Each structure stands twice: as C-alpha cells, then as structure tokens.
Amino acid sequence: MSSGSGIYFGEVVHQRMRPRKHRLRYKVFSLLLDLDDLEPISERSSMFGFNRPAFFSVHDADHGDGQDIRRWVERQLMASGLGESSHQILMLTYPRILGDVFNPLTVFFCYKPDGNLGAVIHEVHNTFKERHAYTLPVTAGGKEIVRQRSRKEFYVSPFIPMDCTYDFRIQPPGNVVRVVIREEDREGLLLAAAFSGDRRPLTDVNLLKAAFKYPLMTLKVVIGIHWEAIRLFLKGAPYFPRSSAEKSSKTRSTGPHREAISQIPK
C-alpha cells in the first residue's frame, strides 16, 4: 500500500505519430492526495485547502459528480464489481491554483485491505467542461507496472478520432510515479502521452516551492492545449468535430467490461 499523500515534480510529454509528427514537453507538478486525509491536510496547511480558498486547493465540485469525491469513487468501484478496492484511495491530480484549475487527467489509485492495488480510475476532462471516468481493474497486485486497455468512449480532441483504444501503462506512486497513455487507431499507435514525476513530501515548504516554480500552471495548461491545437491545424492534421451523440451529460462513467493486466513491460 502506498504511504499516502505527496507532491510530484515532473513533466508531461506528448508525441503524435501521424499524419504529421508533433511533440510537446512541459514542466508540471501533481499532488497525490489520500482522500481520507483531505480534511486533516487542509486543517494543518496554510498553502492547501480542501473545499476552501487557499493558494492550492481541491474541491469536491472538480471531480466525479461534484458532490463527495470519496463516495463517488466508492460508487464507481461498486458498480464495476471492485468494491473491495476502496480501502485506501489516492488521487493524482492538478490542484486549483488561486481558485482556477483544469485537469486533463486525474488518476485514482484504489487499494485493497491487503495493500495491493485493485483498481485504477482514469478521470478524463475535456475543454467543454465535461468529464468521463474509465474504471479499470488491476490484476496481480499492481506492484510493478500496471497495463490496462479500454475503448475510447469520450470526446477529447478535435484532432483525434473516436474510433480508438487507450493502452494505459502505469508505475504506481512510490518514489516516482509514471502514467503513459498510448492512443491507437486501426493503423496502430497515433499518440503517446506521459507524465512522470519524482516524489517530495507534501509540506508547506514544498508547496511554496511549487508556487514559485509554477504560479501560472493552470493557465499554461489551458493556453498550451489551444496553442498546440493551432499548430496541429496549421500542420494539416485531420479535424473530427463532435457529433450530437457525443454532446452528452457533464459526467459519465465506464463500467467493468475492460481488459487489465499487471506486468513488467518487456
């Protein structure tokens, strides 16, 4: 079982393979938060708040159904037949910075009472203020590298078709964390995206360091998404508009009908 909350300083890398090669890389940080410790962390920290204003904060409204994050995660797990994996839940996420946030991906690591990782929930957000959860099981304890696959079911980018499959490769939180998403279409690998970071204790000192290093991270992420979209358009990348069927409710979830394996990659 993970030792709990922390802060990960690292970088995001995107590499598009076709029809024009396109690459981006930028520095970011993510918080790893034990959902049972949100209130205690908020009470003792002058830099972090849970459901309250602070330089960095996390709010129930930013995830799931907008009510109670932990209860929402528990419901996703129960609906997927993974209820035993709710003993400890760690959330890897971007916090609000001065009240503003955009999370392209929040990852929930869900542990069983025996300390083994039993499920991972990938909560994807798009720029239309919608979010979608892929709830996927983990086999063999997930102590090394977790590999999972899921059909794409949520519109994210106008330059990526819906007829794709996600291949997730995850190194669960420890001294480092790494999340790799390989998006594949019928011709093979189309896009690879990854976050990797090194762990530091979640203290006000390290949060202050993050405030000085990344004071405008939310703005950087949002501007970066739109800037890269412009670059892709200028490179002649095909455009895939949203269909009326994809303009659905704000929050959607995916059930248990997914592949998941845990292994060390070759």
- Tens of pLDDT, residue by residue, the chain (266 residues): 445 899 999 999 888 877 777 677 889 999 999 999 999 999 999 999 999 999 999 999 999 999 999 999 999 999 999 999 999 999 999 999 999 888 889 999 999 999 999 999 999 998 788 999 999 999 875 568 999 999 999 988 666 778 899 999 999 999 999 999 999 999 899 889 999 999 999 999 999 999 998 877 765 565 555 555 555 555 566 656 666 545 554 555 555 444 444 443 33
The residue assigned the tokens 């762990």 is 199
Residue 32 bridge partners (DSSP) = 6, 92
Q: Is the pTM of this model over 0.95?
A: no
Domains of the chain, by residue range, sit at 6-262
Residue 102 has φ and ψ, to the nearest 5°, of -145, 125
Strands 96-97 and 88-93: unpaired
Taking the alpha carbons at both ends of the chain, their separation in whole angstroms is 25
pLDDT in tens, 190-204: 889 999 999 999 999
- What are the tokens at 219? 């703005």
Per cent of the chain over pLDDT 70 is: 77
Q: How far apart are CA 83 and CA 88, in angstroms?
A: 11
Residue 214 bridge partners (DSSP) = none
